[in-house]
Structures are given as structure tokens and as C-alpha cells.
């Protein structure tokens, strides 16, 4: 069994079989944006259902939410996105290396000061006041001057001045040694838009770069109206937007993407054990799909984000290598505290056991739905060599996730077989998404269904007209059985039941 490892094959398969199309394709595509086709949307919805049921339905203390994409602009100041989600970048024209202009300047300041300090130590002035140091060391003086200038420029985000400073202080590229720089450009990773009809009166808004903040700002609404007691969680599935400088690798990194996030609120001090618990719970969820353990791993963040006190990723072995699929973060009380500060509203929980008020700590599980989709496709798509030497392309999706659950195929399109097949089809509509096809040879239709990941095909032949039995053909084994048509719903129904996955995930 040869695994299809090439991402390109996955892209082609997704397009050819109606899973994913490039956005606005007839206009030459919109970069890094993709549309889900007729079968893609079914698979995606099934993944959502699997997540939602395992998180919300299976946990009495977790509730759902669907917050708006637009949020008050101050939300993003409080969350830290306005400040840390935009970088002033500068390129060296000779080496083509890109640097963060602020980092270059800060490093220069440190270098100058360090050099100065060495000189001062020789002169026994290391304990002297700044003023004396400035007088005694030229390098130190330059460092202090640059620091002052840089701080001033940073306050007004004056990027022109950044470049001037880089030139004045002769900062060179580490690689090329050249001082041939482009202008400083600001890359804001948040998409901006306007609210209001008239430009002058309009408010600047951002499209949310993550769904989490919608949960945090609704923390009290949900907690109070749901009369929820800590520990409890709020889960949400929704779109998020990031203006990635380089967005590539198919649906792995898109500008518009969908997240499935859950924020779990806990008593401060208990975050470590909840972090561990959610790590395991989430890993089980992934393993329940039948993925080999060696294709999944935890990855510890070396550099923690500004809010986190612990962070690990669940990585999956994509065709492009081990990459982040889901993040599990211990966010402390950072978000709620920030919103408390910026909104002036108390975002606290009264713990009747401890008889005290506190800002809860948060454990976040955040998974990219599109990445999950890519993962499911990439581990399911196979070029299988059959006993007779032929190959077939098969998408052996977990049955509960398959876009089409069962196909009804009359062996030939005459002698009343189509009519009989449609009659059976109508009864199966209540079981799951069905598919009907009477064109082409039966073998060809089986293969087509294999490529779509349909777990069962039901074939209606002449014998069906006599005794109401049909052939049921299973996707993975290609095994065929003759059963009574009334049994089909039961057999298919039990195989495609989402509970099969949920039972494995919750253990």
C-alpha cells in the first residue's frame, strides 16, 4: 500500500473530486484563500460535528458559543494583538535577508552600551551615574542617544525615522555586511475594515485574528446565565483572519481560516493538572480516528507567547513534515485581566468553596479546522495495489466523517432496476448522505466511490426484484455480501454512527 505523500497529489485530488477549489479561480485565484466544494463541505461539517459533540455534548461543564467576527476595537488592544501582531520589517537589498527593524535597533543599542561598559570598567567607572558614563565613553553616549531617539520614534511608530536611525548608526546586515536597506514597512497581521457608511464617521475595525477573544468578553454572560461553576469551559467554532506575509502550502496556512477553540476556566493554582488533562484528552480525540501514534506528537514551545505559562502543540506528520495541528495553552489570567483593565468591568468569579473572588485561569485548546481537514485527507488518501496488480485510489476516511455514506447503484439502467434502486435510496435518506448513479460499469462506479471515501455501495440487480436482497460492498475490504434491503439502514447506520468515534475519544 503506497501512501500518497505528495501534497500536490492531495491538492489535485481535492480539486478533481469536489473537495476544495482555489478561491475565485476564474479570476486567476485569490492567493491563499480556498473554497470547500460539495464533498469538502460535508467532510468539514462532519469534522466539526465530531469536535463539537466530543467537547460540548460529552462534557456537561462545557457550553458552546457563537460570537461575532466583528468586535470592539479595544478588544485587540487588550489582547495584545494591536501591539504584537504587527512588525516593522526591513530588507537588506544585497543579502535579501529580512529583519525586524525594531530588533536591529535594539541590538545596536545593546552593542554600543556593552562596548561602552567595557571601556568604563577599565576606567573604574562602571558604578558611575549615566551622565558621567556618557561623558567618559563615546560608545556609551552613542548608545544612550540612539536609545532616546529610538524610543521617541517608537512612540509615534515613525518607521521613516527607524530607517534614518539604521543608516545614521551604520547598522550592517550580518550576512552581507552591507548597509543597503529597503524602507521600513509595517506588516499588520490583522485585516482592517470600516464600520459605518460615511468614511469620516466610520470606526476602524479588525477582522478577528482568533476566536478566543469572543469567549473571553462573554465570560461573565455565559457563566452567569448558565450558572456555571468552575471548572467549566466555553467552546466555539468560527472563522478567523490573518494577513499572513507568506501564506502557502494549500489549506495549511490560509488568510481566512476556521478555528475550533475551547477555553477552560479553572481555579488559579490548578492550571498545571488541567493542562495535562486536556493534553491527554485532545490526544485521545486525535487517536480515536485511527491514526498511528507515530504520526502524532507533542511539541513543547520553546518561546512562550506573552500570555502563556505553558504551551504545547499537537503536531501531525503532514506530507510537508511534522506541523502544528492543535495548540494547548495555559494562558493564566492574562486575557480576563487585560479585559478587566481595558473595559473597567470586573471579570471575576466568586468561588463559594473558597469564599473568595478571583480571575480564573484559562487552559485553551485551539485546533485549526482546515488543518484538521488536510490531516484527515492526507492520511486517508492512498494508491492501493490490488491483488490483480491494478491500482485503485481510495480515500479510507473514518466512516463517520465520510461525505457520502452510501451509494445506491443499479447494476444496469433498465429492467426496472433504476426504479427499484431509487425506492431503496428514499429509505436510506434518513440514515445519511446518499448518492445515486446509474452510468458506466459497476466497477467504475465502485472506484469513483472509493475516491470519494464512500464506505458502502449498495448494488441493485435482477435478483433484488425477486427477493429484495441487494449486494453491499465495503470500501476498504472490497468485500461483498448479499443482504436483505431492509437490513441496509441498520448496517450502514451502525457503521457511520458518530458515537463510534466519540466512545473511543472519551475514555
102 binds RNA (CB under 7 A): no
Grid coordinates of 56: 460540548
Q: Is residue 441 a contact residue for RNA (CB under 7 A)?
A: yes
Q: How far is the CB of 19 from RNA (least distance, A)?
A: 13
Q: How far is the CB of 71 from RNA (least distance, A)?
A: 14
Rounded distance, CA 203 to CA 450, Å? 51
Q: How far is the CB of 414 from RNA (least distance, A)?
A: 5
For RNA, give the closer residue by CB, 136 or 478. Answer: 478
For residue 233, state whether it binds RNA (rule: CB under 7 A). no
Provide the mask over 291-310, with x wherever binding to RNA is found by CB under 7 A and - wherever it is not.
--------------xx----
Does position 479 interact with RNA (CB under 7 A)? The reply is yes
Helices and strands (H and E) in the chain: how many: 18, 24
Q: Does 29 bind RNA (CB under 7 A)?
A: yes
Q: Applying CB under 7 A, which of residues 330, 378, 459, 502 lies at the interface with RNA?
A: 459
Tell me the CA distances in angstroms from 69 to 72, 75, 403, one per residue in order.
Answer: 10, 12, 28
The answer for 431, left when phi > 0, alpha when psi is -120 to 50, beta otherwise, is: alpha
- Considering only residues 78, 367, 448, 488, which one is a binding residue for RNA as defined by CB under 7 A? 448
Residue 225: Cβ within 10 Å count:
10
Q: How far apart are CA 362 and CA 262, in angstroms?
A: 10
Q: How far is the CB of 202 from RNA (least distance, A)?
A: 25
- Bridge partners of residue 423, in order along the sequence: none
Binding to RNA in span 237-276, by CB under 7 A: 244-246, 248-250, 253
- Based on CB atoms, which residue is closest to RNA, 227 or 439? 439
Cβ 217 to RNA, closest distance in Å? 15
- Identify which range of 36-44, 130-138, 283-291, 475-483 contacts RNA by CB under 7 A: 475-483
Cell output for 268: 488559579
Q: 101: which 3 cell numbers?
A: 527593524
- Least Cα distance to 20 among 44, 3, 4 occurs for 44
Query: 77 vs 346, which CB is nearer to RNA?
Result: 77
451 binds RNA (CB under 7 A): yes
Range in contact with RNA (rule: CB under 7 A) among 129-137, 143-151, 351-359, 438-446: 438-446
Binding test (CB under 7 A) with RNA, winner from 274, 275, 373, 446? 446
Please give the Cα distance from 494 to 500 (Å, whole number): 8
73 binds RNA (CB under 7 A): no
DSSP codes joined into one string, 198-231 = STTT-EEEEB-S-SHHHHHHTHHHHHHHTT--SS
Strand partners, 381: 395
First to last CA, the chain: 31
Q: How far is CA 324 from the centre of its chain?
A: 8
User: Which residues in 31-50 contact RNA (CB under 7 A)?
Assistant: 31-32
351 binding RNA? (CB under 7 A): no
Q: Applying CB under 7 A, does 2 fall inside the site for RNA?
A: no
- The CA distances from residue 166 to 84, 134, 172, in Å, are 21, 21, 8
Q: Quick check: 440 binds RNA (CB under 7 A)? A: yes
Beta-carbon contacts of 481 under 8 Å, excluding residues fewer than 6 positions away, are: 471, 472
Which residues 4-23 are close enough to bind RNA by CB under 7 A?
7-8, 11-12, 15-16, 22
State how far the Cα of 243 lies from the Cα of 193, in Å rounded to an integer.
Answer: 13
Among 143, 327, 360, 398, binds RNA (CB under 7 A): 327
Nearer to RNA, 170 or 390 (CB): 390
Does the footprint of RNA cover residue 354 (CB under 7 A)?
A: no
Q: CB-wise, 68 or 246, nearer to RNA?
A: 246
For residues 336 and 376, give the distance between their C-alpha atoms in angstroms, rounded to a whole number: 34
Question: Looking at 414, 430, 466, 507, which residue binds RNA (CB under 7 A)?
Answer: 414
**Dihedral sign, Cα of residue 351, residue 352, residue 354, residue 355:** positive
DSSP 8-state secondary structure symbol assigned to residue 158: -
Max Cα separation, the chain? 108
Q: Is the CB of 11 or the CB of 166 nearer to RNA?
A: 11
Say if strands 34-36 and 62-65 run parallel, antiparallel, or are unpaired.
Answer: unpaired
At closest approach, how far in Å is the CB of 155 from RNA?
A: 19
Grid cell 465570560 is found at 219
Residues touching RNA: how many (CB under 7 A)? 60
Cis preceding linkage at 239, omega within 30: no
- Which residue number, 15 or 53, has a Cβ lying nearer to RNA? 15
Q: Which of 162, 332, 473, 488 binds RNA (CB under 7 A)?
A: 473
> Which one of 386, 389, 466, 507 is in contact with RNA (CB under 7 A)?
386
Q: Does 87 bind RNA (CB under 7 A)?
A: yes
- The residue from 411, 425, 428, 505 that contacts RNA (CB under 7 A) is 411
Backbone angles phi, psi at 263, to 5 degrees: -110, 125
* Residue corresponding to grid cell 492543535: 326
- Our CB check for RNA shows the closer of 7 and 58 to be 7
Asked if 95 contacts 173 with a C-beta cutoff of 8 angstroms, the reply is: yes
Site string for RNA, 115-144 (x = CB under 7 A): ------------------------------
483 binds RNA (CB under 7 A): no
Among 390, 430, 466, 507, binds RNA (CB under 7 A): 390
Half-sphere exposure of 199 (CA within 13 A, CB side): 0
Amino acid at each position: 500500500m503506497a501512501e500518497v505523500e505528495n501534497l500536490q497529489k492531495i491538492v489535485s485530488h481535492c480539486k478533481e473530486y469536489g473537495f476544495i477549489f482555489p478561491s475565485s479561480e476564474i479570476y486567476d485565484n485569490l492567493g491563499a484563500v480556498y473554497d470547500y466544494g460539495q464533498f469538502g463541505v460535508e467532510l468539514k461539517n462532519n469534522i466539526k460535528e465530531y469536535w463539537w459533540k466530543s467537547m460540548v455534548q460529552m462534557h456537561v461543564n462545557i457550553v458552546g458559543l457563537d460570537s461575532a467576527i466583528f468586535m470592539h476595537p479595544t478588544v485587540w488592544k487588550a489582547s495584545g494583538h494591536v501591539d504584537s501582531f504587527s512588525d516593522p520589517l526591513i530588507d537588506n537589498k544585497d543579502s535579501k535577508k529580512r529583519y525586524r527593524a525594531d530588533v536591529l535597533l535594539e541590538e545596536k543599542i545593546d552593542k554600543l552600551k556593552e562596548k561602552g561598559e567595557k571601556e568604563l570598567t577599565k576606567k573604574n567607572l562602571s558604578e558611575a551615574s549615566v551622565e558621567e558614563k556618557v561623558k567618559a565613553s563615546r560608545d556609551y553616549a552613542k548608545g544612550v542617544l540612539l536609545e532616546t531617539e529610538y524610543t521617541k520614534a517608537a512612540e509615534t511608530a515613525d518607521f521613516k525615522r527607524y530607517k534614518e536611525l539604521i543608516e545614521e548608526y551604520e547598522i550592517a546586515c550580518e550576512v552581507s555586511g552591507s548597509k543597503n536597506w529597503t524602507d521600513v514597512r509595517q506588516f499588520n497581521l490583522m485585516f482592517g475594515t470600516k464600520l459605518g457608511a460615511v468614511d469620516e464617521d466610520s470606526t476602524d475595525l479588525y477582522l478577528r485574528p482568533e476566536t478566543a477573544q469572543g469567549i473571553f468578553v462573554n465570560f461573565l454572560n455565559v457563566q452567569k446565565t448558565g450558572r456555571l461553576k468552575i471548572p467549566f469551559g466555553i467552546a466555539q467554532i468560527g472563522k478567523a483572519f490573518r494577513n499572513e506575509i507568506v501564506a502557502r502550502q494549500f489549506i495549511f496556512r490560509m488568510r481566512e481560516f476556521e478555528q475550533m477553540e475551547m477555553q477552560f476556566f479553572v481555579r488559579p493554582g490548578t492550571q498545571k493538572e488541567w493542562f495535562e488533562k486536556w493534553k491527554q484528552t485532545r490526544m485521545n480525540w486525535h487517536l480515536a480516528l485511527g491514526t498511528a501514534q507515530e504520526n502524532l506528537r507533542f511539541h513543547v514551545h520553546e518561546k512562550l507567547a506573552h500570555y502563556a505559562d505553558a504551551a504545547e502543540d499537537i503536531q501531525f506528520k503532514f506530507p510537508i513534515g511534522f506541523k502544528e495541528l492543535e495548540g494547548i495553552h495555559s494562558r493564566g489570567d492574562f486575557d480576563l485581566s487585560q479585559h478587566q483593565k481595558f473595559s473597567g468591568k470586573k471579570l471575576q468569579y466568586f468561588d463559594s468553596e473558597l469564599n473568595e473572588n478571583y480571575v480564573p485561569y484559562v487552559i485553551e485548546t485551539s485546533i485549526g479546522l482546515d488543518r484538521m481537514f488536510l490531516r484527515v485527507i492526507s492520511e486517508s488518501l492512498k494508491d492501493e495495489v490490488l491483488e490483480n496488480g491494478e491500482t485503485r485510489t481510495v480515500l479510507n476516511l473514518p466512516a463517520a466523517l465520510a461525505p457520502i455514506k452510501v451509494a445506491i447503484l443499479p447494476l444496469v439502467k433498465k429492467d426496472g432496476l433504476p426504479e427499484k434502486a431509487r425506492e431503496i435510496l428514499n429509505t436510506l435518506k434518513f440514515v445519511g448522505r446518499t448518492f445515486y448513479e446509474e452510468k458506466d460499469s459497476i466497477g467504475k462506479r465502485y472506484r469513483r466511490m472509493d475516491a470519494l471515501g464512500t464506505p458502502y455501495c449498495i448494488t441493485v440487480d435482477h435478483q433484488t426484484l425477486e427477493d429484495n436482497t441487494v449486494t453491499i460492498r465495503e470500501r476498504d475490504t472490497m468485500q461483498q455480501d448479499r443482504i436483505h434491503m431492509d437490513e441496509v439502514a441498520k448496517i450502514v447506520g451502525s457503521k457511520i454512527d458518530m458515537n463510534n468515534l466519540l466512545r473511543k475519544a472519551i475514555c
